[in-house]
Copies of this chain bind each other. A is one copy, B any other.
Amino acid sequence: MDLNEYLIPPTEATRRRGPHDRIVMTSRIRLARNLKAVPFPGWGKKPDRIKAAEIIRPAVESLPEMKGCFAESLDNLAALDKQLLVERHLISREHAAKGAGSALVLNRDETLCFMINEEDHIRMQALLPGLQLKEVWGTISKVDSRLEKKVDYAFTTEWGYLTACPTNLGTGIRVSAMLHLPGLVLAEQINQIIQSVNKLGLAVRGLYGEGTEALGNVFQVSNQMTLGETEEAIVERLNKVLSQIIEHEENARAKLLEKKPKMLLNQIGRAFGALSNAHIISSKETMNLLSCLKLGVDVGLFPGVDRTLVDELFLITQPAHLQHNSTEKLGADERDLRRADLLRERLASVSRPLAELPGSPEAGGEAG
């Protein structure tokens, strides 16, 4: 099956909605699992990894949740396809780099994804738009129980689920949310928030996870500890912290609207001006400017403009998506030209932002 025919078109994918999705882009939970009978991927030889995949893949594909899924060995995917999957946050950068034995199983609506032979034999993840950690937990937990009846997990009563890295030992869970926090960044409160969140034992990372930059004012918040707490307690704790971050972000936006409206109008206006007039633009600059544009849509400066336009641009201006839509092989310089062409074209019909902020910060955006 061709991955590109399988993947949901960006326009459609970005149209999905969830609670608080002006701030919480996605909620995600991944579980790390390993087979008892096969050496873990990093330790095992190639035949071990192939054996693990042969056990896991049919078991996953037979799950009712995975009906009509896309399943493929990473060996059979082009580098570009793998990069597309990374840009859509469906597989990790690390997984994209794996070879023999590594595979991917993705369900029809892209809310469930299994990485086979990443760092662990199984990395399964569920994701939903907006703040829906409990729903995501309900899904992944059910899937995990079903799979556990089909394959023999490495598990001890003393340590829980065994994982390649001790930081995942026990529950093997990572609960995370991807947050758009331009208000806290512009109000220069973001470092304070990150420090507080860190003190609560949670990690704050950039757009593509561990060790990546917070491009486009997008931050991932996730649990660090996987041992000594139940999954429900971890989900609950993260949920509480996320609710607080949402409140802080909303307060920061409200305060900026009240105290520094001109600064806000200036940032948003200039972002729109650059995006709709550049002829050369990098991926990094694009993401940072689109973040401002999205904030502008959220605060009602672009009446009639749907936020999905910005979300879609966020996705399709990334390197693999740009390459995917081109017939020739593009170098980095050519991508910077195509990206600018695409942005100008898509923003051609968008009128300049309002010169004044609407009376209420809620105007123009939908309820969170």
Contact = CB atoms under 8 A, between A and B. Distances in A.
A351 to B, nearest CB: 11
A341 B265 CA distance: 11
Interface stretch (A39-47, A143-151, A201-209, A267-275): A267-275
Interface string A5-49: 000000000000000000000000000000000000000000000
Interface stretch (A67-75, A165-173, A277-285, A312-320): A277-285
B352 A262 contact: no
Nearest to A264: B279
The CB with the most chain B CB atoms within 10 A, among A265, A277, A348, is that of A277
Interface of A: 262-263, 265-266, 269-270, 272-280, 337, 340-341, 344, 348, 352-353, 355
A352 B277 contact: yes
Contacts of A275: 273
Contacts of A276: 273, 352
Contacts of A274: 270, 273-274
Contacts of A355: 279, 341, 344
A277 B340 contact: no
A348 B348 CA distance: 15
A272 B277 contact: yes
Contacts of A340: 266
A64 to B, nearest CB: 51
Given A266-B280, A273-B275, A348-B352, 8 more contacts: A262-B280, A263-B280, A270-B278, A273-B273, A273-B277, A276-B352, A277-B353, A279-B355
Contacts of A273: 270, 272-278
A278 B272 CA distance: 10
A336 B197 CA distance: 38
Contacts of A262: 279-280, 337
9 contacts: A262-B280, A263-B279, A269-B279, A270-B277, A270-B278, A272-B273, A273-B275, A273-B277, A277-B353
Contacts of A265: 279
Contacts of A270: 273-274, 277-278
A344 B278 CA distance: 18
Cβ-closest 6 pairs across A and B: A273-B273, A273-B277, A269-B277, A266-B279, A265-B279, A266-B280
Contacts of A348: 352
A337 B265 CA distance: 11
Nearest to A273: B273
A206 B269 CA distance: 31
A63 B337 CA distance: 61
Contact of A266 (B269, B272, B278, B353): B278
Contacts of A341: 355
A200 B90 CA distance: 66
A32 to B, nearest CB: 45
A255 B263 CA distance: 39
